[in-house]
Amino acid sequence: MASGEGSRQWSSLPSNLIHLISTKLPDLSDRVRIRSVCKMWKSSVSVSDPSPCLPWFVSCDMDRSDEIVYYSLSSKKTCKIHFPQQRNSYFLGTAGGFILSCQDSSSESISLFNPLTGLEISVPNPKEFEEFSVVSNPFQKDLLVILGNILDSDETFVGLIRPGDEAWVIRRLDMMLYEGVCLWYDGMCFINEYGTPTWTGDATTRSILSTVPPPPRDSRPMSPRYMLETCGQILLIFTHMTFIDKLEEIDFTIYQLNKVGGTYQWVKIRGIGDRMLFLDYVRSFALRASDFSGFRGNCIYFYKDDFKRLRLLLCRHDLETGTTEVLPNFSGKWSTWMIPNLSESN
């Protein structure tokens, strides 16, 4: 074969075939590589296809405040991205491939930025808010939802903002969340504080539509750390932490919101089937394992602190066996899950 003939054959592959291959790639980094082969391949591979993509676990580097560390579940590799604009910042959550960050551990300067494209979007300063975090899921592009407290007040709020808005839209809640969780889904707001009924309300009018009795108390210490929607179902996830021989062990109890006898109740479930749950400090979301080759469902991906070695441990818990394994090659701080996105706009 003459020199150059092979490259002509590669570049002459049908555009639709290249596009089809790219939609089967599980990791966005693979799509970046295939776009780098030649101009024709680049034009054939869209950066915004809605094909399923596994999340990256992103964090600030422990030693370099201007570097972002991410762990790819697909490649099982840890990589770093140099991003000096985010020096001394910490992460509040992600939305549509963008990370919401705060400078210098305060809400004085916050922004949305995409570590893959370098695009940074200014976000209005929520001056009256404190201790807030993102509660919208990382797939959501058109609406960013945060939950937090009002300065010098015992009130809890939900803040909403869309790309291009000049100010936050505030929905004050009629309760103070201490160990509670909030879910914003399909125009509805679901709020749960441990040991109290779950409040279900209209997200716009804030009117209470129904209350759901709390789940039965467990003999083990627990807190309602997460609430999420998956496949049209609402799940409430409790965490249990125990210490055995000075080692921290974490277990989970999951309830599903079901209609029983004409009223809604929290019903304990033993497994989540084909789904994989992803948890960070306050947020949670789910994916179907069958959408990704080599991954199994009925698992929870989460992280915990290794205070002795000053690092984070990314873990996978198998609900069927009740066992937890530590995934290798990761350490960092201010961590969250991100759905990687090469789009140039939010």
Would you kindly state where each structural domain of the chain is located, as residue ranges? 9-51, 52-338
Encode burial over 16-25: b for 16+ CB neighbours within 10 A, e otherwise. Answer: eebeebbeeb
Side-chain half-sphere CA neighbours of 182 within 13 A: 28
Q: Which backbone phi and psi does 85 adopt, to 5 degrees?
A: -65, -20
Q: Candidates 3.40.50.1100, 3.10.20.30, 1.10.3720.10, 2.120.10.80; correct CATH number of 52-338?
A: 2.120.10.80
- In the predicted model, residues of the chain with pLDDT beneath 70 are 1-11, 26, 29, 46-52, 61-65, 84-88, 103-108, 127-131, 151, 174-179, 194-195, 203-206, 221-224, 242-248, 305-311, 328-334, 343-346
Note the pLDDT tens digit of each residue in 131-166: 677 777 787 777 788 877 776 777 777 788 877 788
Q: Which residues pair with 268 in a beta bridge?
A: 255
CA neighbor of 335 nearest in space, from 130, 61, 144:
61
pTM value surpassing 0.85: no
Q: Report yes or no: 227 and 246 within 8 Å, Cβ to Cβ.
A: no
* H-helix segments, the chain: 5-11, 15-23, 28-35, 39-44
Query: What are residue 45's DSSP bridge partners?
Result: none
Helix axes 15-23, 28-35, angle to 10 degrees: 160
